Amino acid sequence: MTTVLVTGASGFIAKHIVRELLENDYTVCASVRSQRGRDQLTALFPDAQLTFVTLDLMKDDGWAEAFEGVDVLLHTASPFPSEAPTDPEELIRPAVDGTMRALQAAHSAGVRRVVLTSSCAAIYKDKTKPKMAISTRDNWTDPTGPDTAAYEASKTLAERAAWDFVALHPEMKLTTINPGGVFGPPMDEHFGASLFYIEQFLSGGLPGVPHMNAPGVDVRDVARMHVRAIDNEATVGLRFPAVAGVEYLVDLTKTLKEAYPDHKIPTRELPSWLLRFTSLFIPVLRAATNDLGRNMAVVGTDAPEVMGFEYIPLHESVRASAQFLVEQGK
Ligand code: NDP
């Protein structure tokens, strides 16, 4: 049996990865950083023989021992907050240093297969491409660009560090999965920041919709891609954008409004000047002002071809997220 160590196993995406691994007869070693994470996973998978390790991206403790008996590293852990911190290093340091800790410990223990969760955020802000051009896996976000957010820089620098590491250690086989915005049903009520915007739209907290598009994908497909990549040699050395579709946000809010007509969901776009003005008072809109006037589309068609699956349609994922939130009373 192949043993897979999943970092950040308590995360929204990683819980689906753990489920997918167990369903495909892998042995799972779940890395968490707190008892809370451990309790959540035990509650979700009461019959599974999960083993646990406690690892912090910012601390050396435990990494060397964690890889005993491990065959594959799935590195998902990275900070994913709903609002940007004042100091970008709060995201960049754990993302980059944590990736290096994970790769170095895996390499020292003889682990040769690694699947890393990167992001479309590491792709779409490439200064060498016209702003309205569609991105592909060949594009790289400029981590120092004037409209590059701290989170986008953190994902870009962490993924770069991983590719640099395997260039020095070619015996390591790396695949990266680069999801767009991830939607779909959470496994439990602890689901990080992923559904933040859907929650904001459902609760009527936003006056209108930013005029921007975004790549998106279902969490179940993201999990499937991580697990299918493990034994698929054709994925080695490549980045796989996980993108089921690219939609203007207003088209997604219209889908939400159709499903929940009684909620105060905005279905009109805010003119860009008004968005900039409103974002002075509504901090969650601030990030969107960076993305105005840019095509955020990323091509994600390679993954289904190489890994043999069909994406769940994006509108279906968005509806599934909303259904979960509404059932939770949001
Ligand atoms: P979550 O916030 O749910 O998961 C993040 C995980 O990382 C959690 O398990 C968290 O642990 C862990 N983590 C954060 N900081 C540390 C640290 N210092 N030490 C150890 N563990 C840490 O987010 P997602 O599941 O959405 O994100 C998972 C991955 O997917 C991330 O790499 C993210 O960048 C990437 N991604 C996410 C997208 C999305 O839309 N959700 C889109 C593209 C990429 P704890 O539970 O203890 O906080």
Q: Tell me what pLDDT residue 254 has.
A: 97
**262: CATH:** 3.40.50.720
Q: Which residues pair with 28 in a beta bridge?
A: 4
Which ligand 1 atom lies nearest to the CA of residue 13?
25
**Is 17 a domain residue?**
yes
Pocket test for ligand 1, best of 38, 78, 120 (most atoms within 8 A of CB): 78
**Is 295 a domain residue?**
yes
Q: Tell me what pLDDT residue 199 has.
A: 92
How many other β-carbons are positioned within 10 Å of the β-carbon of residue 207? 14
With a cut of 70, list the residues of the chain below it in pLDDT. Answer: none
The number of domains in the chain is 1
Considering Cα of 111, then 117, then 120, then 125, what sign does the dihedral take?
negative
Q: Tell me what pLDDT residue 36 has.
A: 97
**Is 296 a domain residue?**
yes
Q: Tell me what pLDDT residue 277 has.
A: 85
| Segments forming the whole domain that contains residue 228 | 3-325
**Is 330 a domain residue?**
no
C-alpha 95 to ligand 1 mean position (Å): 10
Q: Tell me what pLDDT residue 279 has.
A: 83
Strands 173-179 and 213-218: unpaired
**Is 289 a domain residue?**
yes
**Is 120 a domain residue?**
yes
Fill in the DSSP letter of residue 281: T
User: Under a CB-based contact definition with an 8 Å cutoff, are residues 300 and 243 in contact?
Assistant: yes
Alpha helices per DSSP H over the chain:
12-23, 35-44, 63-66, 89-108, 150-168, 196-202, 219-230, 249-259, 272-278, 286-289, 302-307, 314-327
Q: Tell me what pLDDT residue 283 has.
A: 73
Is the CB–ligand 1 distance for residue 26 below 6 Å?
A: no
Tell me the pTM.
0.97
**Is 83 a domain residue?**
yes
C-alpha 85/C-alpha 159 separation (Å) is 20
Q: Tell me what pLDDT residue 192 has.
A: 85
C-alpha 250 to ligand 1 mean position (Å): 27
Is the CB–ligand 1 distance for residue 241 below 6 Å?
A: no
Which ligand 1 atom lies nearest to the CA of residue 56?
19
Q: Tell me what pLDDT residue 330 has.
A: 77
